[in-house]
Chains A and B, each alone.
Chain A
Amino acid sequence: MPKFLLMLMDNPTADANLSPQEMQAIVGEYTKWASSLAQQGKLDGGEKLAEEGGRLIRHTGPKVTVTDGPYAESKEVIGGYFIVNAASYDEAVAIAKTCPHMTHGAATLVRRIEETRQ
């Protein structure tokens, strides 16, 4: 079954004023969502990405520049990702739409992972 990458984008300042109890409720929603997907065999892992934008290395000819994050000027950063098993883009998008990130995050980017079989 094809795998899809769900990249969860955040607004980096959005969560700064949440109370501990609100944060706990949000974490609870994500873990509930993930474990229900896992039970259906549709979840293939997920990780948080460290730091907000990472480093962007650009090389135009001999000149190499390293900058902080590809999204330095953007309002959204990739917080982390989940990999899900889905039959089609439609199903992958449908799964992403059930993720609590729809309420608590800024956006979700869905990409199909190319199968490498010959």
Chain B
Amino acid sequence: MTTDPAVTATPGDDDANPANAAADRLFRHESARLRASLARTLGTARLDLVEDVVQDALVAALHHWRFAGIPENPGAWLTRVAQRRAIDLIRRGHAESRALTHWLARQEGTPDRDLDDELAMLLACASPALPESCRVPLMLHHVAGFSAAEIAHAFLISNDAAAQRLVRGKQILRDNAVSIEVPEAEALHERLSPTLDAIYLMLTEGHSASPGQPHIREDLLAECERLLTIITTDHRTASPAAHALMALVLFTRSRSPARLSDTSAITLLSEQDRALWDRRRINRAMLHLARAAGGTALTRYHLEAGIAAVHATAETFDATDWRQILELYNALQTVHPTPVVAVNRAAARAMIDGPAAALADLDAAARTLDGYLMYWATRAELLTRLDRPSDAAAALRCALACSPNDAESALLTQRLARAQAAAEELRPRPSPRDPKRESPPPSSP
């Protein structure tokens, strides 16, 4: 059983080697850098032109690099192509010649501007003018180099819907003349909070993918880490909450290598090989968590990172400090009460006070948890420990009805078979198809 639905995993393709990981996403990140640089100068009113210049440079890179290989400094290569394109457009008397000239002039500036450009772009994508549904897609597109189709894939929406959100977002940025700048003081604070919320959303999706998706979308987790690196390395935006969220992302990614077995099945926290956890990421997470303690505000990111830290420092599952975890969940229930928190809190309680007490907690909260997969899965686990296999089987059937992804579905089906077998053993003369056991139990006892 898991006390943290954040406990499952991906093939650790790149975790072993961060250099490879960066190289795997080189086109995305280099194009994002170029896009941010252009957008910063050209402004939100000319994002279509930005898009054209970036895509043009990328196609040139594709056509060149397939013969010559990727050059030593791909970013500089792309920038040079974009500059040539800009010069060409100016020569042909493009309507935006002035802005393009301005961009060319700015290229002589310091390279440090690059990171600042991306931060400015990221904060623009969290503009209060934008509806929430547009923010994450805009960030993924403009700062992470995802295409509309890739955004659609990550969030299980149609290509059209993703493209529409990008178009609409772009329109809103233009209509509201949102500037691509790192704002000052109060305005910066107002931008940062929704930026972190959007990254948290990416983390959630990256961690437990939708049905039909690989269980962990390493891509999304990698982007969360990258965006937060941008935020936490700039003193203006490196708030305690940002550090806390960074710690949470790093703790989550540190477990990726252990979470999916070779067959892409889920390996639960209790069964994970902790030797596979990425110690380097855990150490970095600890550093960020220490820096997160600087402020006065206690955010959900602090508490969730704190819980992850307790797990990361426990040598074995049994050695976990469940009391501390329960306390953190209690605090989380005050700061940010959600079904996820309620279920995880009950699971932690089971480790201290036993399954019956935890089941009573779940019963009390059952009404709000009805459609939540982890509620049924946790319930099934508690019922199994209480030797009630047929009730556990019924709960597992409800869990399976909550649109699990493939890896979750495989795990639940396996448990269901085990629970059914145990239930058969308890009945001396079972009928092969007992209609009563086919129907789900009432949602609240």
Contacts and interface: CB of A to CB of B under 8 A. Distances in A.
Interface of A: 10, 15-16, 18-24, 26-27, 30-31, 34, 46-48, 79-80, 82
Contact of A21 (B55, B64, B67, B150): B150
A24 B146 CA distance: 12
Contacts of A47: 67-68
Nearest to A10: B63
Given A21-B147, A26-B66, 18 more contacts: A10-B63, A15-B59, A16-B59, A19-B146, A19-B149, A20-B30, A20-B31, A20-B58, A20-B147, A21-B28, A24-B24, A24-B25, A24-B27, A27-B27, A27-B65, A31-B66, A48-B68, A80-B67
Contact of A23 (B24, B62, B149): B62
Interface residues of B, number: 25
B145 interface: yes
Contact of B55 (A16, A22, A34): A16
Nearest to B61: A23
B67 A30 contact: yes
A31 B27 contact: no
Interface in B55-92: 55, 58-59, 61-70
B156 interface: no
B59 A21 contact: no
B26 interface: yes
Nearest to A29: B66
Nearest to B29: A20
Contacts of B55: 16
Contact of B62 (A18, A46, A82): A18
A23 B27 contact: yes
Contact of A27 (B31, B70, B146, B149): B70
Given A10-B63, A15-B62, A19-B146, A24 B26 contact: yes
Nearest to A82: B67
Contacts of A46: 67
Contact of B25 (A15, A21, A22, A82): A21
Given A27-B70, A48-B68, A20 B27 contact: yes
Nearest to B68: A48
Contacts of B63: 10, 15, 48, 79-80
Interface of B: 24-28, 30-31, 55, 58-59, 61-70, 145-147, 149-150
B66 A21 contact: no
A33 B69 CA distance: 11
Nearest to A25: B27
A24 B68 CA distance: 14
A27 B145 contact: no
A33 to B, nearest CB: 9
A42 B340 CA distance: 58
Contact of B145 (A16, A21, A26): A21
Nearest to A27: B65
Contacts of B68: 47-48
Nearest to A50: B64
Contacts of A15: 59, 62-63
A31 B26 contact: no
Counting chain A CB atoms within 10 Å of each CB, which of B24, B27, B145 scores highest? Answer: B27
Contacts of B69: 31, 34
B394 to A, nearest CB: 43
B373 to A, nearest CB: 30
Given A15-B59, A15-B62, A26-B62, A20 B28 contact: yes
8 contacts: A23-B27, A24-B24, A27-B65, A46-B67, A47-B68, A48-B63, A48-B66, A82-B67
A44 B284 CA distance: 47
Contacts of A27: 27, 61-62, 65-66, 70
A26 B58 CA distance: 12
A5 to B, nearest CB: 13
Nearest to B30: A20
Contacts of A80: 63, 66-67
Contacts of B147: 19-22
B67 A48 contact: yes
A18 B57 CA distance: 12
Contact of B70 (A31, A34, A48, A79): A31
A22 B118 CA distance: 22
Counting chain B CB atoms within 10 Å of each CB, which of A18, A24, A31 scores highest? Answer: A24
